[in-house]
Structure 1
Amino acid sequence: MMNILIVDDHFLIRKGVRMLLERWDAVKTIEEADNGTDAIVLAEQKQPDVVLLDLSMPEGLDGFTAAQNIHKTVPNAKIIVLTMHDEEAYIQKALQLGISGYLLKNSESNELQEAIEAVMRGERYYRTRIPLEQLEKMEASDSRKSVLTPREQEVLRLVTLGYTNIQIGEQLVISPKTVERHKSNMMQKLQLQEIHELIQYGIKNHVADLV
């Protein structure tokens, strides 16, 4: 018997998922949270076997940050991302964080049960537009670096070296506004909140050494 936590900021989606799970005899209890912050607290209290987690939640923490915290407090919990995001950057981030499952919200209803059964067996269950072979390559590589475009890596290298937006713009022949946009895009892709975190990421990944 499994205990499951549903985390999604949309009431109707939570209720729809709950209805599917309630038909399944293997499910013992179902808890709900509408934001990442409450999900972390509830996970620690209830110790769920499976967490069905949305990524985009405007209130509280985002799904990836919530997943990291849940992994720390409930290490045995299997996390399945349930999202509309099918972009490579999101999938790479999920792989990097060791998330067990990745399921799109427009999937068939039977796939939810398949995903839960698979992750409970210790398997990875990803159903995205990216072929399994490519997923395996992504998992084996340094996925955080590959998320960034060549231009973004150039900008990050100069940011890490301490250049200002104006100086970066002069070197790359782009406007300071374009530089700022690249920085914003990188922070969004890497799920970072502050510029100092971006600099730390650049240092950690030796971006300044890139030619």
Structure 2
Amino acid sequence: MINVMICDDHSFVREGLENIINKLNGCNVVYKAQNGMEAIEFTKNNTPPDILLLDISLPNGFTGYEVAHYFKKHLPTMKMIACSALTDNMALTGMILEGVKGYIGKDAANEDLEMAINMVYNGDYYFKNIVQQDYEQIIKNDKHQGTIISLTNHELKAAKLMASNLAYKQIADQMGISPNTIDNLRATIFHKLNVTTRIEVVLYMVRMGLV
């Protein structure tokens, strides 16, 4: 049985997810938290769940990023899936760097939610419709070890900075290069890693343990 905790500030989202998950084969919702503190307190006083479905935009108290950061540090065995309407690169990059292993939209089909829970529970990642490539290949294909090595030190530095919440102009300023140069550098990194989005670069960096 896969035990799941839901953390979302909207009661209708919590109830809806609970109804769906409890009907899935081998899944059970053990707790519904309306904020990060409730989720943290539950894990302190009860057997931690296997999976946390975590909203990125928690308005009161801890943000989704802070909750993810806490659990990454204090409860690394619990796997986290972001469940949010946000799909921008900055939001997802921040959650990935805080240990989130998957993303599911709040409007996702039931079968996608089931797949996300099962894949993350079994040690995989789930970012369907977020990255352009097959995310399983991005995460699991070991041949990209050589690809990372093929990056120059300058390119690797830029790739690491891309795996942050810095805008491209800020990356250019930090590296002491022009906006045009960072655009060219980004294109080179995308080409060498065979990716088309910044999120895919982040996934590579996380997989390689470079961020």
TM-score (norm 1): 0.65
Find the counterpart in structure 2 of residue 9 from structure 1.
Answer: 9
Alignment CA distance shift 1:3-1:88 (3 Å): same
Are 2:40 and 1:22 equivalent residues in the alignment?
no
Alignment of 1:75-90 (within 5 A): 75-90=76-91
State how many pairs are aligned. 156
SS at match of 2:127: strand
Find the counterpart in structure 1 of residue 169 from structure 2.
Answer: 151
How much has 1:97 moved relative to structure 2? 2.1
CA distance in 1, matches of 2:19, 2:132: 30
C-alpha contact (below 8 Å) 1:82/1:105 kept by paired residues: yes
SS at match of 2:53: strand
CA distance in 2, matches of 1:150, 1:3: 40
Alignment of 1:106-125 (within 5 A): 106-125=107-126
| Mean Cα deviation higher: 92-101 or 54-63 | 92-101
Q: Is there any run of 5+ residues in structure 1 with no aligned partner, and where?
A: 158-211
How much has 1:26 moved relative to structure 2? 1.0
How much has 1:143 moved relative to structure 2? 5.1
CA distance in 2, matches of 1:55, 1:148: 18
C-alpha contact (below 8 Å) 1:9/1:34 kept by paired residues: yes
How much has 1:55 moved relative to structure 2? 0.6
How much has 1:62 moved relative to structure 2? 0.6
C-alpha contact (below 8 Å) 1:5/1:43 kept by paired residues: no
Identity percentage over the alignment?
Answer: 25
CA distance in 2, matches of 1:72, 1:97: 9
SS at match of 1:128: coil
How much has 1:136 moved relative to structure 2? 4.3
CA distance in 2, matches of 1:39, 1:111: 24
Q: Which has the bigger relative contact order, CA under 8 A and spacing at least 6? A: 2
Alignment of 1:56-71 (within 5 A): 56-71=57-72
Work out which of the residue numbers 148, 153, 160 in structure 2 matches 1:142.
160
* Matched letter for residue 102 of structure 1: Y
Alignment of 1:61-210 (within 5 A): 61-132=62-133, 136=138, 141-142=159-160, 147-153=165-171
SS at match of 1:130: coil
CA distance in 2, matches of 1:15, 1:145: 34
How much has 1:63 moved relative to structure 2? 0.7
* Matched letter for residue 70 of structure 2: N
TM-score (norm 2): 0.65
Alignment CA distance shift 1:28-1:22 (3 Å): closer
CA distance in 2, matches of 1:133, 1:2: 25
C-alpha contact (below 8 Å) 1:104/1:128 kept by paired residues: no
